[in-house]
Amino acid sequence: MRQTVDTHRRAGHQSTLTHVFPNNDSSLSPAFTVLPNVIKKNQRTVIVHGLADFALIADGVIVDGVGAYGTMHSERGLTYYEVALSGHMIPQFAPVPAFQIMQYLMGFRDTP
Q: With bands split at pLDDT 50, 70 and 90, how would you rate the model's confidence at 12?
A: low
How far apart are the C-alpha atoms of 98 and 89, rounded to whole Å? 10
Mean pLDDT in residue range 8-24: 61
What is the SS3 assignment for 110?
coil
DSSP 63-89: ---B-SSEEEEEETTEEEEEETT--S-
Exposed, middle or buried: residue 54 (CB in 10 Å: 0-12, 13-18, 19+)? exposed
How far apart are the C-alpha atoms of 58 and 49, rounded to whole Å? 8
Topology annotation, domain 43-112: Rossmann fold (3.40.50)
What is the SS3 assignment for 97?
helix
DSSP 28: P
* Domain extent listing, the chain: 43-112
Average pLDDT, the chain: 76
Segment 34-79, tens digit of pLDDT: 989 999 999 899 988 888 877 666 654 444 444 567 788 888 889 9
Residue 57 exposure: Cα atoms within 13 Å on the Cβ side:
3
